[in-house]
A and B are shown apart, each in its own frame.
Chain A
Amino acid sequence: MAVVCFCSVSALAQQPTDSLTRLLPEAHVATSRRPTEVSSAIPAQRFDSTAFRRMAITTTSDALRRMNGVNLRDYGGAGGLKTVSVRGLGAAHTTVTYDGLAVSNARQGQTDIGRFRLENLAAITLTAAGNDRLLTPVRNLASATVALQSTAAGTLRKGTHLAAALSQGSFGMISPSFQITQRAGSHTQVALGGDFFHARNDYPFTLKNGTQTTRERRANSRMQVWSTEANLLHRFAHSQLTAKASYYSNHRRLPGQVVLYTENNNEHLEEEEASAQSVWNYHRGAWQAFGAGKFHWQASRYADIDPQYPGGASRQHYVQREWYATGGGAWSKGAWSAAYATDYAYQNMSSNMPSSGVARHSWLQALSVRYEAGRLKATARLTGSLHFNHTPDGTKAARNAHRFTPEAAVVWRATRDESSTALYTRIYYKENFRLPTFAESYYYHLGSQDLRPELTRQIGAGLTLAATPASTWWPSLRLTADGYYNRIDDRITSVPYNLYVWRTINMGRVRGGGLELSVNSRWNAARRHHIFFTLAYTLQCATDRTDPSAASYGKQPAYMPRHTAGTTVAYENPWVNLSIGCTASGRRYSTHEHLPGTRLPAYAELGFALYRSFTLGKLRLDLRADLINALDAQYEVVRRYPMPGRAYKLTLRANL
Chain B
Amino acid sequence: MKQFKLAVIALLTALTFNACSDDEMHLPPTEPVGTGTAGAFVLNQGNIYDGIAGTLDFLNFSTDAYTSGLFMQANGVQLGDTPQAGMVYGSRLYVAMYGSNLVWCLDAATGSIVKQIAITSPEGICAADGYVYVSCNDGYLARIDTLTLEADEERLEVGPNPAGICTANGSVYVTISDGYNYNNEYANGFRVVRVSTSDFSKQAEIKVGMNPNIVQADADGNVFAVCQGNYGMGISEVKPEVWKILPDNSASTFVPATSIAIKDNTLYTIYNYTNYTTNESTLKYKAYSTQDGTVLSENMLSLTDLPAVPISLSVCPADGHIYITSDRAQYDYNSPGYIYRYTPDGQLVKRYDAGVHPFAVVFK
Contacts and interface: CB of A to CB of B under 8 A. Distances in A.
B190 to A, nearest CB: 14
Contacts of A18: none
Determine which residue in A260, A306, A309 has the highest number of CB atoms from chain B within 10 A of its CB, and name it: A260
Interface string A436-478: 0000000011000000000000000000000000000000000
Contact of A219 (B1, B139, B160, B333): B1
A207 B7 CA distance: 14
A573 to B, nearest CB: 46
A235 interface: no
Nearest to B1: A263
Contacts of A307: 138-139
A314 B121 CA distance: 16
A598 B333 CA distance: 13
A539 to B, nearest CB: 25
A552 B138 CA distance: 36
A309 B183 CA distance: 11
B138 A593 contact: no
A593 B76 CA distance: 25
A308 B179 CA distance: 9
Interface string B102-140: 100000000000001000110000000000000001110
B81 A259 contact: yes
A500 B231 contact: yes
B334 interface: yes
Contacts of A258: 1
Interface string A304-315: 001111100010
Contacts of A216: 1, 4
Interface in A570-627: 590-593, 595, 597-598
A498 B309 CA distance: 10
Chain A interface category by residue count: 35 or more
Contacts of B100: 259-262
Nearest to A262: B101
Contacts of A552: 332, 334
A17 interface: no
B70 interface: no
Contacts, number: 126
Contacts of B5: 261-263
Interface in B43-72: 48, 50-53, 72
A262 B333 CA distance: 24
A501 interface: yes
Interface string A495-509: 111101101000100
B45 to A, nearest CB: 8
B280 to A, nearest CB: 12
A214 B180 contact: no
A354 interface: yes
A212 interface: yes
B90 interface: no
Interface string A169-207: 000000000000000000000000000000000000001
A210 B75 contact: yes
27 contacts: A207-B1, A209-B77, A210-B75, A214-B4, A216-B4, A259-B80, A260-B80, A261-B102, A261-B116, A262-B102, A263-B1, A263-B2, A307-B138, A308-B137, A308-B161, A310-B181, A354-B183, A444-B183, A496-B331, A497-B276, A501-B276, A550-B332, A551-B328, A593-B332, A593-B334, A639-B51, A640-B51
Interface of A: 207, 209-212, 214, 216, 219, 257-264, 306-310, 314, 353-354, 444-445, 495-498, 500-501, 503, 507, 549-552, 558, 590-593, 595, 597-598, 639-640
